[in-house]
Amino acid sequence: MTINLKVWRQKNGSTPGTLKDYRVEGVNDHMSFLEMFDHLNEHLMLRGEEPIEFDHDCREGICGSCNLVIDGIPHGPQKGTAACQLHMRHYSDGATITVEPWRAAAFPVIKDLVVDRSAFDRIQAAGGYISVNTNSAPDANAIPIRKEDADIAFDYAACIGCGACVAACPNASASLFTAAKIAQFARLPQGAPERERRVVRMVEQMEKEGFGDCSNHGECEAVCPKEISIQAIAEMRREYMKAIM
């Protein structure tokens, strides 16, 4: 099938960008969205044109680097799906698709569809370490944890740090990402020793990076490829208030 693309092209972060039209022929229904971009780039290079820069790694919805806004929706129209897991069978022949990078001041564009998400790394680094006893591995049942807490902590730990929550939020807030990283440890005894220090440092770093405030729009939850609940944000706020008081 043939797909018409409108792709954001930008040489670097200091030059203005624009949407450019491309006609992609020979697209297979079984291609993933990123494979379709590979197909387009092959033809661009054969014509002596510069390929489109886009980020990816695992292509399995795990690494979070496939940060594309597809038709105005981070990661595209399929709920609970990263852009690398989106397949062209969801589009019809002759469809027009607009592809842009994440839009947030804290995620500056590097080139084309690639943005700098190192602000997330700095937020996580601000949380510091988790105290654990060394030597041999402890018995799995040595530290009793309620199943409810374990399940919720696991759900929060599923966050892949892609930044879709920031791209979807009208305020460009990183609250869902930060909250998931805080709440997953707040639910576990292993996270208790640094609990108060962790939440204060991570929230302060989030603000320092220039992300906006959460105003409960819920767009972050709607586009999260791992469907992390905004309940995490409520937990982060409780943890923060207890820590500073």
What's residue 131's pLDDT?
Answer: 77
d(CA 162, CA 95): 26
Mean pLDDT for the stretch of residues 125-131: 87
Q: Average pLDDT over the chain, rounded to whole?
A: 94
pLDDT category of residue 190 using cuts at 50, 70 and 90:
confident
Q: Name the residue among 206, 26, 24, 224 with its Cα closest to residue 121.
A: 206
Q: What are phi and psi of 72, to 5 degrees?
A: 85, 0
For the full predicted model, state whether its pTM sits above 0.75.
yes
In this structure, the answer to whether residues 66 and 124 fall within a common structural domain is no
CATH number at residue 158: 1.10.1060.10
Amino acid in the structure at residue 37: F
What's residue 129's pLDDT?
Answer: 83
What's residue 137's pLDDT?
Answer: 72
What's residue 144's pLDDT?
Answer: 85
Domain end marker among 53, 79, 110: 110
In this structure, the answer to whether residues 186 and 104 fall within a common structural domain is no
Domain end marker among 110, 127, 145: 110
d(CA 236, CA 228): 14
Residues 70-105 have pLDDT tens digits of: 999 999 999 999 999 999 999 999 999 999 999 999
Residues 136-173 have pLDDT tens digits of: 777 767 788 899 999 999 999 999 999 999 999 999 99
Query: 172: left (phi > 0), else alpha (psi -120 to 50), else beta?
Result: left
In this structure, the answer to whether residues 75 and 185 fall within a common structural domain is no
In angstroms, the Cα distances linking 191 to 125, 132, 174, 214 are: 15, 9, 21, 24
Is the pLDDT confidence value at 230 over 90? yes
d(CA 112, CA 54): 7
3-state SS assignment for residue 91:
coil
In this structure, the answer to whether residues 234 and 130 fall within a common structural domain is yes
d(CA 216, CA 231): 11
In this structure, the answer to whether residues 141 and 96 fall within a common structural domain is no
